[in-house]
């Protein structure tokens, strides 16, 4: 692999590794570590597989063709609109999750570091305004802020993992209450954590259509890194806070399943300030960079959907459309971090599982030019499509409290 391929692999990893990761321990507490690792690995494999299907689809079109244009070519206007609306709703749902998550974490930060008690509403508003200002200034500003923060966060993550090792307990990780029944609620959030598929067309453009094998390796390796990071993160969190008791994941689940409450519980239980500062810094930065990148994507998508230009008035209108709806939603539902990540899974499944399956089926029916052929047949396509539908049904049931939730 050359330097460009390594850069591209890290871009894919960077897209996946987001604040969704903070929700993983919250949603997998009842599963126990073995079920969690198994589920993460299976979902990583499925998401990588559909990513490769999407690669085969994209390689049939000229470099630079986006998902919307491919959907139009294969499924007409309906296809184009389904893709467009799913993308917007995915980015809106993630925005809601990140604002809710950030207000719960920053509320803790202010209390811990500055002994100031601020309301979640005030924090949500200020946080959104700061992110909006950076995006409004320019993409370059986002790029610089993201690079500095993302790199610092990698260092913080390694420091955290090393520091937390003496505080890990085997019996917190595995116990007799572990149950696979909690997988239903976990699947949508896990799926969201492995989302990167929107980047497939830009990667094809970046690396070139003539290097299908390199592209395949980039997608496999780019996803493998987050899989390893997620497993280490799950072991660190589930292993250092008990499942049940006064200070536990059960307490967190009963008090809104927010990252802020998880941090508070760890602070009381672990009694090591270094660990608490590291987890606090890691989570705070993760929320910031994730929302920065996702809202840049939403800003650009809205500008293109509503045909807004680059002058100040147009950018201002796009910014209002981009930031006001998720902010209002979060002010009304402040505990929306985990539910909004789950809701994002519905739209991500349409884009990243159902669309690749249907598009590949349609393309293989025609005589398509084979640049890269992902190993699949109609049965495999059917199974993956079925799993996709199952994820959507699962999430609808979760939103209606119809699946077992760890409490």
Ligand X SMILES: N[C@@H](Cc1ccccc1)C(=O)O
Among 71, 193, 253, 275, binds ligand X (CB under 6 A): 193
Q: Which residue has the tokens 């601020």?
A: 118
Give the shortest CB-25-to-ligand X separation in angstroms: 13
**Binding flag, residue 187, ligand X (CB under 6 A):** no
Give the shortest CB-293-to-ligand X separation in angstroms: 8
Cβ-based nearer residue to ligand X, 18 or 242: 18
**Binding flag, residue 287, ligand X (CB under 6 A):** no
Q: Which of residues 28-87 bind ligand X (CB under 6 A)?
A: none
**Binding flag, residue 290, ligand X (CB under 6 A):** yes
C-alpha to C-alpha distance for 130 and 308, rounded to whole angstroms: 22
Range in contact with ligand X (rule: CB under 6 A) among 17-25, 122-130, 362-370, 391-399: 17-25
Among 8, 13, 14, 16, binds ligand X (CB under 6 A): 16
Token readout for 335 is: 């505990």
Contact, 10 vs 222, CB < 8 A? yes
Among 13, 28, 95, 192, binds ligand X (CB under 6 A): 192
Range in contact with ligand X (rule: CB under 6 A) among 14-22, 50-58, 258-266, 363-371: 14-22
**Binding flag, residue 195, ligand X (CB under 6 A):** yes
**Binding flag, residue 20, ligand X (CB under 6 A):** yes
Q: Which of residues 248-267 bind ligand X (CB under 6 A)?
A: none
- Following DSSP, what letter does each residue of 296-354 receive, concatenated? HHHHHHHHHHTT--SSHHHHHHHHHHHHHHHHHHHHH-TT-HHHHHHHHHHHHHIIIII
CB crowding 337-376: b at 16 or more within 10 Å, else e: bbbbbbbbbbbbbbbbbbbbbbbbbebbeeeeeebbebeb
**Binding flag, residue 235, ligand X (CB under 6 A):** no
Q: Extract long-range pairs of 61-66: CB within 8 Å, 24+ residues apart.
A: 62/209, 63/204, 63/205, 63/208, 63/209, 64/201, 64/205, 65/201, 66/201
Positions in the binding site for ligand X (CB under 6 A): 15-16, 18-21, 94, 192-193, 195, 198, 290, 294, 348
């Amino acid at each position: 692999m050359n330097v460009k391929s390594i850069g591209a692999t890290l871009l894919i990893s960077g897209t996946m590794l987001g604040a969704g990761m903070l929700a993983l321990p919250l949603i997998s507490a009842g599963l126990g570590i073995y079920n969690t690792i198994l589920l993460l690995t299976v979902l990583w494999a499925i998401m990588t597989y559909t990513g490769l299907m999407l690669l085969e689809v994209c390689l049939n079109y000229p470099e630079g063709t986006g998902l919307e244009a491919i959907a139009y070519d294969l499924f007409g206007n309906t296809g184009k609109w389904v893709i467009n609306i799913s993308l917007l709703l995915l980015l809106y749902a993630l925005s809601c999750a990140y604002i809710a998550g950030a207000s719960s974490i920053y509320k803790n930060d202010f209390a811990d570091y500055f002994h100031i008690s601020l309301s979640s509403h005030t924090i949500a508003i200020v946080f959104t305004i700061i992110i909006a200002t950076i995006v409004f200034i320019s993409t370059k500003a986002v790029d610089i802020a993201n690079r500095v923060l993302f790199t610092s966060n990698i260092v913080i993550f390694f420091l955290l993992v090393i520091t937390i090792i003496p505080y890990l307990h085997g019996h917190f990780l595995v116990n007799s209450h572990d149950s696979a029944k909690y997988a239903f609620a976990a699947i949508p959030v896990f799926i969201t954590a492995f989302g990167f598929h929107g980047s497939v067309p830009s990667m094809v453009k970046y690396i070139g259509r003539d290097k299908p094998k390199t592209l395949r390796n980039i997608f496999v390796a780019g996803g493998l890194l987050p899989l390893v990071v997620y497993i280490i993160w799950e072991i660190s969190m589930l292993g250092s806070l008990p499942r049940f008791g006064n200070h536990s994941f059960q307490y967190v689940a009963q008090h809104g399943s927010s990252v802020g409450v998880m941090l508070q519980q760890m602070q009381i239980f672990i009694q090591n300030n270094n660990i608490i500062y590291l987890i606090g810094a890691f989570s705070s930065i993760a929320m910031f960079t994730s929302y920065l990148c996702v809202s840049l994507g939403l800003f650009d998508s809205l500008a293109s959907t509503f045909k807004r230009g680059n002058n100040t008035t147009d950018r201002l209108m796009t910014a209002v459309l981009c930031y006001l709806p998720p902010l209002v939603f979060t002010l009304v539902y402040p505990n929306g971090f985990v539910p909004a990540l789950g809701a994002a899974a519905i739209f991500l499944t349409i884009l990243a599982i159902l669309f690749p399956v249907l598009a590949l089926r349609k393309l293989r029916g025609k005589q398509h030019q084979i640049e890269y052929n992902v190993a699949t047949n109609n049965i495999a396509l059917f199974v993956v499509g079925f799993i996709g539908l199952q994820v959507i049904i699962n999430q609808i049931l979760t939103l209606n409290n119809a699946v077992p939730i760890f409490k």
